[in-house]
Amino acid sequence: MTSVLVVDDSAFMRKMISEMLDNQPDIYVIDKARNGKDAVEKVKQLNPDVITMDVEMPVMSGIEALKEIMAENPKPVIMISSVTKEGADTTIKAMEYGAFDFISKPSGSISLDIHKVEKELIDKVRLASSVKVTKLTHSPAGKTAPDHLDPSIKTPKEGLKSGVSAMVVIGTSTGGPKALQKVLPQLPETFPHPVLVVQHMPEGFTKSLSERLDALSKIKVKEAENGEIIKKGVAYIAPGGYHLKVRRIGTSVAIHLDQSTSVNGHRPSVDVMFTSLSAVKLDKVIAVLMTGMGQDGKNGLLHLKKSVKTAAIAESESTAVVFGMPKAAIETNLVDEVKDIDAIAASLLKHS
C-alpha cells in the first residue's frame, strides 16, 4: 500500500484529491495538510511514501516546503499546479529542486473539474512510489543561472544559420526537465547542430521550461514556433499540445507544428518527431532517449535507423528517474551508447 500526504490550502481540493486516491485499492491518504509548514511537520511525523503538493499556498508555499522536504527527508513530491505563467515558472523551478513530477489543474486554483486529471494523478502516484528518491535529490549540474538573461547575447551567428545537414533530437518525459538541465547547459556556444526536444508536458508549461533552460545554457533555447527555419546552435522545445515535425523548404529545414491525434497518449510525441526526420534528407541524426515512462520514441528510432545515418544514445538505468523510454529503445538493439545523464553532452559532442 502506498501512503500519500495531500497538501492543499483549499478544503475542497484536499477532499477531492483524497477521495480519488482513497478509492484505489493500493493507495491510502495518510493525512492532509493545509499549507507548506504543516506539510513539512507531517512528513517528519508520518513518513508518507508520496506527497501531492499544491504550488500556491499561504504561510509557506509549495516550493518552499518542497525545498525543506528534499533537504531534510526526501520524498517523491507531485506538484499540483495552475496553468498561469507564474504557476508554470514555479513548477519548472520545482522540478529543479527535486519534485518527481507535476499535474496541471484543469481550471483555476480551486478546480471544480479536478476529476478530469484523476487517471493522471493515480498513475503518477503509483509511479512515484517506485522511484529511488536519490535520483531526485542530486543538485542541478553546471552554473547557477541568472533569473533573466538578455536574449540578444545568444543570437546565433549568421554563418551558422543555413545548410542544416545534421540534427540532434531528444525525447524525454517524467524526470525530463531536470535531465535536460544536465545536458543542454553542457553544450558549448559553438555547438554545430540544431537540437529538437520533445518533453511530454501540457500546454502552458513548455515556454517556462524553454526560458529556464535558455537562462542556464550557452546555446539559445526557445519554444518552437510553427514555420520557423531551424538554425544551428539553437535548441527548440516542442510546445505542449502540439506535435513537432520538420519539413524541407529549399535548402533549409523548417519546423511544422500541428495538433493531429495524440500518439502513445502524447502530443507532442517523440515517435512523431523522430519519424518526420526520416523524410528530410539529412546526412546524420543523433537521437537521444532519456528518462520517461512508456515506450515513446522506440518506433521512431526504428524509422530513423532505416532511413538516415543515426547515432542513438539512451540514458542509463542508474540515472534515469524512470527507465521506461530508454529501456524500450535499448531493447531494439539499435542504441549505440548507454550513458549516465552527466555524460550525454560529451557523447553529443563526440558524434558531432
Q: What CATH number has the domain bearing residue 133? A: 3.40.50.2300
Report how far apart, in Å, the C-alpha atoms of 260 and of each of 32, 120, 172, 265 are.
40, 21, 20, 12
Question: How is residue 110 annotated by DSSP?
Answer: S
User: Are 284 and 216 in a shared domain?
Assistant: yes
For residues 298-313, average pLDDT: 96
For residues 207-222, average pLDDT: 96
Residue-wise pLDDT for 17-52, tens only, equals: 999 999 999 999 999 999 999 999 999 999 999 999
351 a catalytic residue: no
User: Are 278 and 314 in a shared domain?
Assistant: yes
Residue 334 in domain: yes
d(CA 79, CA 234): 30
User: Are 187 and 302 in a shared domain?
Assistant: yes
Residue 222 in domain: yes
Domain endpoint, select from 110, 137, 164? 137
Provide the mean pLDDT of the chain.
Answer: 90
Q: Are 347 and 339 in contact (CB under 8 A)?
A: yes
Residue 143 in domain: no
Residue 309 in domain: yes
User: Are 201 and 329 in a shared domain?
Assistant: yes
User: Are 129 and 178 in a shared domain?
Assistant: no
Q: Which residues of 6-23 are buried (b: 16+ CB within 10 A; e: fewer)?
A: bbbbbeebbebbbebbee
User: Are 129 and 161 in a shared domain?
Assistant: no
Report how far apart, in Å, the C-alpha atoms of 289 and of each of 70, 300, 321 are.
27, 11, 13
Residue 150 has pLDDT above 60, yes or no: no
296 a catalytic residue: yes
Could you tell me the pTM of the whole model? 0.89
Residue 66 in domain: yes
* Sequence-separated (6 or more) residues with CB below 8 Å from residue 215: 145, 146, 147, 148, 149
Report how far apart, in Å, the C-alpha atoms of 32 and of each of 29, 53, 81, 224, 283 are.
8, 10, 17, 40, 56
User: Are 39 and 68 in a shared domain?
Assistant: yes
User: Are 256 and 334 in a shared domain?
Assistant: yes
Q: Which three cell numbers stand for residue 211?
A: 526560458
Question: How is residue 114 annotated by DSSP?
Answer: G
List the catalytic residue out of 61, 173, 210, 276: 173
Q: Are 231 and 254 in contact (CB under 8 A)?
A: no
Query: How many domains, the chain?
Result: 2
d(CA 81, CA 63): 11
List the catalytic residue out of 200, 243, 266, 351: 200
316 a catalytic residue: no
Residue 250 in domain: yes
- Residue 53: give the domain boundaries: 2-137
What is the share, in percent, of the chain residues with pLDDT greater than 90?
Answer: 79
Residue 274 has pLDDT above 80, yes or no: yes
User: Are 237 and 308 in a shared domain?
Assistant: yes
Residue 172 has pLDDT above 80, yes or no: yes
User: Are 129 and 175 in a shared domain?
Assistant: no
List the catalytic residue out of 9, 101, 214, 296: 296
